[in-house]
Amino acid sequence: MGSSLPLLLFSRKKRCKAIIYANDRTRDGFSEEVFFLKRARIIYNPTSGRETFRRELAKVLERFEEAGYETSAHATTGEGDATNAARIAVERRYDLIVVAGGDGTINEVVHGIAEAEFRPEIGIIPAGTTNDFARALAIPRDINKAVGIILNDNHPKALDIGKVNDQYFINIAGGGDLTELTYDVPIKMKSAMGQLAYYIKGIEMLPFLKPVTTRIEYDDKVFEGDIMLFLIANTNSVGGFEKLAPDALIDDGYFDLLILKKTNLPEFLRIATAGIRGTHLEDENLLYTQAKRIKVTPKEKMLLNIDGEYGGELPGEIINLQQHIKFYVSNEFLTKELETKRNLLQLEEGSE
C-alpha cells in the first residue's frame, strides 16, 4: 500500500471519511476493506485503576471498528509514555485518541497534542485512580457506557485547557503548603484507596500548614497577602470537591480562581467543610473570581501542583487556552452546561 495514491475522498454515512486507493484490486467490488475510515488510537494505561480495561480491550476495539473506525491500541509503558504515544498519533494524523486511564493519562496525552497544529479529538474511558476530568464531562466509569458516549452521544466539543510555564493542565493548577501533601501519598496507597488516601494524608498534615506571602496578578487586578493556598480551576470537579467552583464553564476561556487567605486551623476546617457543601464562596477568608491569565509569585518556596501531580516550583504564569482541544462529552454534560449558563444569565440579569 505504500505507493498507493488516494484517488477519491468522500463521505460515507455521517462520520466516515473514505479513501479508495488507485492500485487496490478490490476497489471495483467496493468491499468494506477498501474504505479507509476514520482512524482511532486507543492509549491505555495497563496498570491504571483496577486493571479492568485491559480485559475489555478486545471488545472496545470491536465496537470502534463496527462504528467505522480503523482502530489500534497502545499500552503505555510508564511515566511520559502516553505523551509520546499521543505525539505519534499526531504525526500519523489519527482523527481520534481514546484515552483509557485517569486524569494523569489524559494530562499526558494533552501534553502530546497541545502544541501541534493538527490536534486529534479526544475520547475518554475513565479507568484511573482519579477521574476528575471525566466526572466534569459526565462520563461514567462503566466502560460500555463511556464508549457509547463517544460513539452514540457523539459530541466532540472544543474545551479550554490551561498552560502554566511550559506545562498543561485539564482540571486544576494550585499551590500552597496544603497542595504539597498530595505528592506524599504513596502510589500503592493511592491505587488501593483512591481519593480517601488523600484525605487521610491531608488530615495528618493539617497541623503543619503555614501561610506564604504571595503576589497574584489576575487579568488587570492584583492580590497580595498571606495565603494558605490558591487553586486555578478549569473544571468544576476538583479532587472530589464538585462544588468548589460550581459555575465553572470549560469553554468560556476563563479559569475559576480561588485564593484561601491566612487562616487558623479551626477556620480552615470550617471552610474546607463548607467547600464540600458548596457554601464556601461567600466566606471572607476566600477570594473567588474568574480570570484568563494569572501570575503567581510567592515570596518563599512554593511548589506547583498540576492536575494532582508535582509541577515544579513557582513562580508561574497561567494562561487559559480557550477551546483548544475537542473532547467527546456526554448528553448529560450538555444538559448540565445549558443549565449553568441559564443560571448565570439569570444572575446577571438579576444584578442589573
Mapped onto helix, strand or coil, the DSSP state of residue 46 is: coil
Minimal distance, residue 187 CB to Mg ion, in Å: 31
* Dist. CA 24–CA 258, nearest whole Å: 59
Q: Tell which residue, 159, 314, 292, has the closest CA to residue 237.
A: 159
Map grid coordinates 505525539 to a residue: 87
Minimal distance, residue 345 CB to Mg ion, in Å: 16
Please pick, from the candidates 56, 81, 247, 252, the single residue that binds Mg ion as defined by CB under 5 A.
Answer: 252
Please pick, from the candidates 98, 122, 249, 318, the single residue that binds Mg ion as defined by CB under 5 A.
Answer: 249
Measured from the CB atom, the residue of 60 and 291 that comes closer to Mg ion is 291
Measured from the CB atom, the residue of 100 and 248 that comes closer to Mg ion is 248
Q: Tell which residue, 209, 234, 211, 228, has the closest CA to residue 294.
A: 234
Burial (Cβ within 10 Å: 0-12, 13-18, ≥19) of residue 59: exposed
Instruction: Select the span of 77-85, 104-112, 114-122, 246-254 touching Mg ion (CB under 5 A).
Output: 246-254
Q: Does 267 bind Mg ion (CB under 5 A)?
A: no
Mapped onto helix, strand or coil, the DSSP state of residue 10 is: strand
What would the grid cell of residue 339 be?
A: 443549565
* Dist. CA 113–CA 77, nearest whole Å: 19
* Dist. CA 161–CA 328, nearest whole Å: 14
Measured from the CB atom, the residue of 153 and 252 that comes closer to Mg ion is 252
Is 309 labeled as catalytic in the residue annotation?
yes
Mapped onto helix, strand or coil, the DSSP state of residue 206 is: helix
Q: Does 254 bind Mg ion (CB under 5 A)?
A: yes
Q: Among the options 309, 317, 332, 337, which is catalytic? A: 309
Q: Which amino acid is at 197?
A: A
- Which secondary-structure segment (H or E) carries 84? helix 81-91
Binding mask 40-79 for Mg ion (x = CB under 5 A): ----------------------------------------
Minimal distance, residue 334 CB to Mg ion, in Å: 16
Q: What's the residue count for the chain?
A: 352
Q: What is the DSSP letter of 341?
A: H
Measured from the CB atom, the residue of 198 and 333 that comes closer to Mg ion is 333
* Dist. CA 156–CA 136, nearest whole Å: 15
Minimal distance, residue 160 CB to Mg ion, in Å: 6
The site that binds Mg ion (CB under 5 A) totals a number of residues, namely 3
Q: Does 337 bind Mg ion (CB under 5 A)?
A: no
Binding mask 207-226 for Mg ion (x = CB under 5 A): --------------------
Measured from the CB atom, the residue of 98 and 161 that comes closer to Mg ion is 161
Q: In the complex, which residues of this chain contact Mg ion (CB under 5 A)?
A: 249, 252, 254
- Please list the active-site residues: 309
